[in-house]
Structure 1
Amino acid sequence: MVADPLSQILEDHARWLARSPGGRRANFAMQALRGADLSNRDLSQALLAGADLTGARLRGIRLEAADLYGADLSNADLTQACLVGADLRGVTLRGAVLDGTDLRGADLRSNDMLIAVPPSAPAASVQPAPTGQGIVFRQARLGRAMLVGARLSGVVMVECDLTGAVLRGADLRGADLRGSALRNVDLTGADLREADLTAARLGGAQLIGTRLNGARFNGADMVGVELDHCDLTGAALEDARFSRPLDSLALDMRHRIHEHERWIDSGGSRGSRAELDGANLEAADLRGVRLSGATLRGARLAGALLAGADLTLADLSGADLTEASLRGTILRGASMGHCRLSGADLADAQLNPADILEADGHPSGRSWPADLVGADLTRASLWRAHLQYANFTGATLAGADLGQADTTGVRFANARMDGVVGFDRPATTPAARVG
């Protein structure tokens, strides 16, 4: 493809993305783009199925929701590229540079995406089994990625974020996952024999029937991980940190939570409202706990598991929820001003308004929105979260995932939103910095 037609297609696609007259969606399906320099271009939603992008320079390119089915990205430079929600089934990535690549929500399901294309092997030669050996992801983001049955034996994923990824039945034998975030990852039936998960963070991960023979979990965060049905023969778990279940907390703490649940059930006539300001609940397993209306100002909840908990109208102002699991947590009308939520998983969380009830328990017709003024949500996942009318004024959402989130009526005044994905960006104004 010559330069002029390529430039015209890129210009037409830019107009198409901007919904301007004369715009046309880029279609590079089955096209030869070997060595092409498309760095920093926006080809979101472009059609690139079967395209030959061998050795292409794609640094900083945006390929959100692009169709790359069966494309060849061998030896391509995808440093800091954004492929959020892209269709990458059948893609070849052998030798690709994947430093800081954003693959959140990408479809990488059971296929031969990692098979090298043999140069010109003799017909009689035996081809090696597909593996991930030679594929290196450094600080890449693969949250929510679909990797069911993926052949990734020997793959290197150092300090990557795979929060919420689906790796059911994946072959990860000998994989290097040191320092990676695998929180809420589904590894059911996966093969992790001899894998290195040193210092990995696996809070809330599902490891049902996972093969872990000889795997290394030294210094790993295993909060909420159940290993009852796993084969751990020869596995190393030195200095691994496991969760603090509710019944392991201090007696006073358990009593306050119990009394709070009585307070809820009795409509306030029995028990007492929990006041847990400044409480140390780091890495605690609080899944499904009922703390609606509780006060947890300045509480230490880093790495805690709060999936499915009810924190309606709770006061969490200034609390530390760094890398906490809040998947599906009910936070309607919660006060979370200046909370630290960097790296937190808020997928499917309910941050919509809470109904205000009268003293007799009947609806008043009024509601109270969630307050996240000044909160730090850097790289947090808000995928499919219910955010209607929440107040994010002055919040930091850099690199956050807002894919499929309901942002109806949300206030983003003076919010920092550079690198946000899955969000229809409004025009930049002095009150909203959007990258």
Structure 2
Amino acid sequence: MRSFLRVLVVAVSACVLLSGVAQARAVKGCVIKHHTSCHHKNLNGKDLRGAVLHHSVLHNMDLRHANLRGADLRYADLRKTDLRGADLTGANLKGAKLHYYTAKAKQRRAGIAQAQAAPSCNPNCSGADLRGANFTGANLTGANLAYANLLGTQLAGANLTGANLTNADLGGANLTEANLSRTNLTYASFVSANLTNANLTSANLSYAWLVSANLTYAYPLSANFTGAWLVSANLTYANLTGAIFSGGNRFGAIWYYATCPNGTVTSNSC
């Protein structure tokens, strides 16, 4: 009887394993499963909703306009992969690598970097091109997006806790209610970005470019604004308790009922 049970258990286990293998689908030569490895595949516009691709290596892929809603991309290596226009609503990109090494990335940042005395990026800079991607509600905890091009990107409600966005370009991006706590935003550009009700607690915004940014109801508690430019930024009802301001430019900023670093409320300037 015991021998029979052992055989039965082995048989059932084998069936489960085979079932798992059978369920892993292939899309244009790329097996969609965790820990997979795909290179130079064109999945432009493909439906990859809910795909489980954590810890996968997806180098030099074309994922433009792909539907990756709810996909599990934790710790995935997406270096040199094109995600422009992809829908990553609710996707989990915790710890994902999104570097894109190009000469253009270096050139694109050269003007801003020189103007703000940014560190040298020799021999090249990382800069994932994610223009127009939809990261609404996505989990980007700890993601490395240094030098990324995130112009006009949808990041409303996204979790970017502890992410690296050094020198990233978020001009015109929607970061409403996004969690940017403890995020490295040194030299990042937020020109005309929407940061309404965003959590910037303990974020490093040193030398960040926040010209005309909307920070209404944002709470950059204990954030570092050393050398940051807040020209014409809207800080209405923003809570800046404990924030650090040194140097930079705040000309024309709106401070209506903003809470200053020392806890006082102002409508003039902190």
Partner of 2:107: none
3-state DSSP of counterpart to 1:107: coil
Q: What is the Cα deviation at residue 167 of structure 1?
A: 0.5
How far apart are the structure 2 equivalents of 1:96 and 1:234?
A: 31
Partner of 2:143: 101
Partner of 2:83: 68
- Segments of 5+ residues of structure 2 without an aligned counterpart are 1-23, 100-126, 264-270
Amino acid of the residue matched to residue 223 of structure 1? S
Bigger RCO of structures 1 and 2 (CA < 8 A, at least 6 apart): 2
Candidates 207, 225, 236, aligned match of 2:230? 207
How far apart are the structure 2 equivalents of 1:11 and 1:103?
A: 21
How far apart are the structure 2 equivalents of 1:201 and 1:35?
A: 37
Partner of 1:183: 206
3-state DSSP of counterpart to 2:57: coil
Partner of 1:157: 180
Q: Assess, with a 3 A threshold, how the Cα gap between structure 1 residues 225 and 36 changes in structure 2: closer, same or farther.
A: same
Amino acid of the residue matched to residue 74 of structure 1? T
How far apart are the structure 1 equivalents of 2:187 and 2:95?
A: 21
Q: What is the Cα deviation at residue 93 of structure 1?
A: 1.7
Candidates 52, 57, 67, aligned match of 1:37? 52
Percent same amino acid at aligned positions? Answer: 34
Candidates 122, 129, 134, aligned match of 1:87? 129
| Cα deviation digits, residues 198-221 of structure 1 (max 9, x gap) | 100111111111122222211111
Partner of 1:6: 30
| Cα deviation digits, residues 20-78 of structure 1 (max 9, x gap) | xxxxx222111222222222222233211011112222111111232111111122221
How far apart are the structure 1 equivalents of 2:72 and 2:257?
A: 43
How far apart are the structure 2 equivalents of 1:229 and 1:95?
A: 32
Amino acid of the residue matched to residue 79 of structure 1? K
8 Å Cα contact 1:63-1:86 kept in structure 2: no
8 Å Cα contact 1:147-1:166 kept in structure 2: yes
Partner of 1:226: 249
8 Å Cα contact 2:177-2:199 kept in structure 1: yes
Higher helix share: 2
Partner of 2:220: 197
Give the structure-2-normalised TM-score: 0.70
Partner of 2:62: 47
Summarize the alignment of residues 34-433 of structure 1 with structure 2, pairs less than 5 Å apart.
34-84=49-99, 85-111=127-153, 113-114=154-155, 132=156, 134-239=157-262
| Cα deviation digits, residues 105-156 of structure 1 (max 9, x gap) | 2221125x24xxxxxxxxxxxxxxxxx2x32221112222211111222222
8 Å Cα contact 1:159-1:180 kept in structure 2: yes
8 Å Cα contact 2:38-2:57 kept in structure 1: no
Amino acid of the residue matched to residue 90 of structure 2? N
How far apart are the structure 2 equivalents of 1:136 and 1:66?
A: 21
Amino acid of the residue matched to residue 213 of structure 1? T
How far apart are the structure 2 equivalents of 1:143 and 1:30?
A: 29
How far apart are the structure 1 equivalents of 2:186 and 2:79?
A: 19
State the superposition RMSD in angstroms.
2.2
Aligned residues: 209
| Cα deviation digits, residues 296-327 of structure 1 (max 9, x gap) | xxxxxxxxxxxxxxxxxxxxxxxxxxxxxxxx
Q: What is the Cα deviation at residue 81 of structure 1?
A: 0.6
How far apart are the structure 2 equivalents of 1:82 and 1:72?
A: 18
Q: What is the Cα deviation at residue 177 of structure 1?
A: 0.7
- Segments of 5+ residues of structure 1 without an aligned counterpart are 14-24, 115-131, 241-435
Q: What is the Cα deviation at residue 11 of structure 1?
A: 5.1
Amino acid of the residue matched to residue 82 of structure 1? K
| Cα deviation digits, residues 82-112 of structure 1 (max 9, x gap) | 113222222222332221111212221125x
8 Å Cα contact 2:37-2:57 kept in structure 1: no
3-state DSSP of counterpart to 1:162: coil
| Cα deviation digits, residues 210-238 of structure 1 (max 9, x gap) | 12222221111112133343222322223
Give the structure-1-normalised TM-score: 0.45
How far apart are the structure 2 equivalents of 1:154 and 1:78?
A: 18
Q: What is the Cα deviation at residue 12 of structure 1?
A: 6.0
